[in-house]
């Protein structure tokens, strides 16, 4: 039996646990997390409560007594921690860390640095320029308006601010810089009411054997939030663009791309790579791709099956899709219809038949998100 420990995680942690839980007798999965849904889930043999600020202490307490085969990060902070300390952790505790080496990871966790990498390697991306108090006018001339002030280090859409003029840029930049430090100015991509999430696994031989492409059609908070409804699709052009980016990075492991499409030219633009499994991981699983098993077996050097990708599956996060309905002016015009709850290809991010605890944990998570959105 292979023993896996997850670092952090909420929805992606549940999806990861479910994918291995279905392989009964093959895996034992534990987690280090304080998330409500994780601590209540039956998918985990044991949950050690803690967060990334406590990993040094918790890790030693756990791994000096328990032997694990693979450690997997569920969030950006956990990925950075495991990558920075990868060689020491693997040497001391004899556990494989399923994360790229820090030299590679550091390129994508810094959003400004990644945009510069894309520019140097002809990877489709939005026009972007690093800004300081002294370069705002030059950046405005280069990027134009509307544009986005984007922190180099942030989670989700935090700190991202749209500006429509130089005056607005000068007014809003100091406060964002104070909160998040280094920032860039990035062209605003006028995209349709959807964007894409591309999940890829690239092995040490440079082969991208597993993939899933998700079209995210509803998000909450509206405009810059988490997916509340998405559909798995095929898109050869997107797949080729993202594979090329991983080849140029010499990436090994799981990668999760956020990609926008321009309304006018229909061209694709890579916004960022998340160096860990995404919250929409379950969309790949219901479409036939078991990324968690791929990650564990590949990092252990064992063979694995790529799976049969079957697109056309709809994944709803009902806890926040309800909030989307309450807030969106397009509540009666959405495609797929918000009122389509049942169907052979409809699944739920937050309701698992094999884990009844999720039926109320989504309610708690949704309330927290609603509360945060209404106090910002």
**Do 182 and 206 lie in a common domain?**
no
Structure tokens at 79: 């990925």
Is residue 342 in a domain? yes
User: What's residue 360's pLDDT?
Assistant: 59
Take residue 358 and report the two structure tokens written for it. 């999720």
Which residue's structure tokens are 């991306």? 125
Tokens of 331: 């509540």
Q: Is the same domain home to 177 and 233?
A: no
Q: Do both 182 and 216 map to the same domain? A: no
C-alpha radius of gyration, the chain, whole number: 20
Residues 209 and 259 both lie in one domain: yes
Residue pointed to by tokens 């079209």: 215
Q: Is residue 104 part of a domain?
A: no
Q: Are residues 251 and 279 in the same domain?
A: yes
Counted residue by residue, the chain has a size of 376
Q: How deeply is 105 buried, as exposed, middle or buried, from its count of CB atoms within 10 A (0-12, 13-18, 19+)?
A: buried
Asked, for residue 106, whether it belongs to a domain, the answer is no
**286 and 169 assigned to the same domain:** no
pTM: 0.90
CATH number at 163 reads: 3.30.1490.20
Domain range for 14 is: 2-99
CATH number at residue 224: 3.30.470.20
In a domain, 270, yes or no: yes
Do residue 224 and residue 325 come from a single domain?
A: yes
| Closest to 210 in 3D by CA, of 224, 225, 198 | 198
Measured distance CA(249)–CA(113) in Å, rounded: 12
Q: How far is CA 141 from CA 60, 144, 152, in A?
A: 52, 6, 21
The answer to whether residue 136 sits within a structural domain is yes
- Helices (runs of H) and strands (runs of E) counted in the chain: 14, 16
Instruction: Pull the structure tokens for residue 179.
Output: 């909160």
Q: Are 362 and 350 in contact (CB under 8 A)?
A: yes
For residue 189, the model assigns a pLDDT of 92
114 falls within a domain? no
State which residues of the chain have pLDDT below 70: 155-157, 358-376
- The answer to whether residues 148 and 58 belong to one domain is no
Asked if residue 64 is part of any domain, the answer here is yes
| Residues 40 and 95 placed together within one structural domain of the fold | yes
Total domains in the chain come to: 3
Same domain, 271 and 362: yes
Find all residues with CB under 8 Å of 117, minimum gap 6, and list them: 107, 123, 248, 249
Side-by-side strand order, sheet with 314-316: 268-274, 253-261, 195-202, 208-220, 226-233, 314-316, 346-348
Residue 376's pLDDT is 46
Note whether 222 and 276 are same-domain residues.
yes
Do both 348 and 241 map to the same domain? yes
192/294 Cα distance (integer angstroms) = 33
Distances in Å between the Cα of 376 and the Cα atoms of 365, 371, 372 are 17, 9, 6
């Amino acid at each position: 039996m292979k023993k896996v420990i997850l670092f952090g995680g909420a929805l992606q942690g549940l999806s990861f646990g479910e994918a291995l839980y279905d392989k009964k007798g093959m895996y034992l999965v534990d987690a280090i997390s304080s998330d409500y849904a994780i601590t209540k889930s039956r998918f985990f043999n044991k949950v050690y409560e803690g967060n990334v600020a406590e990993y040094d202490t918790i890790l030693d307490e756990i791994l000096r007594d328990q032997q694990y085969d693979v450690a997997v990060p569920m969030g950006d902070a956990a990925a950075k921690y495991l990558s920075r300390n990868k060689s020491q952790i693997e040497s001391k505790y004899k556990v494989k860390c399923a994360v790229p080496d820090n030299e590679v990871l550091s390129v994508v966790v810094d959003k400004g640095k990644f945009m510069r990498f894309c520019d140097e390697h002809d990877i489709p991306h939005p026009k972007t320029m690093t800004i300081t108090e002294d370069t705002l006018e030059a950046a405005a001339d280069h990027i134009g308006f509307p544009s986005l002030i984007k922190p180099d280090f942030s989670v989700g859409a935090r700190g991202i601010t749209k500006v429509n003029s130089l005056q607005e840029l000068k007014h809003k930049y100091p406060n964002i810089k104070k909160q998040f430090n280094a920032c860039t100015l990035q062209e605003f991509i006028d995209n349709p009411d959807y964007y894409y999430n591309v999940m890829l696994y690239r092995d040490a031989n440079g082969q991208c054997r597993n993939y899933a492409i998700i079209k995210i059609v509803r998000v909450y908070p509206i405009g810059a939030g988490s997916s509340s409804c998405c559909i798995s699709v095929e898109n050869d052009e997107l797949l080729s663009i993202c594979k090329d980016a991983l080849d140029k990075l010499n990436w090994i492991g799981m990668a999760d791309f956020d990609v926008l499409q321009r309304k006018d030219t229909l061209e694709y633009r890579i916004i960022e790579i998340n160096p860990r499994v995404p919250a929409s991981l379950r969309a790949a699983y219901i479409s036939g791709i078991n990324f968690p098993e791929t990650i564990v077996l590949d990092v252990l050097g064992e063979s694995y099956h790529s799976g049969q990708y079957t697109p056309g599956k709809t994944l709803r996060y009902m806890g926040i899709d309800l909030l989307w309905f309450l807030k969106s002016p397009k509540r009666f015009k959405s495609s797929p219809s918000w009122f389509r709850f049942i169907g052979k290809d409809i699944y739920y991010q937050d309701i698992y038949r094999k884990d009844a605890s999720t039926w109320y944990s989504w309610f708690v998570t949704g309330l927290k998100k609603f509360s945060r959105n209404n106090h910002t």
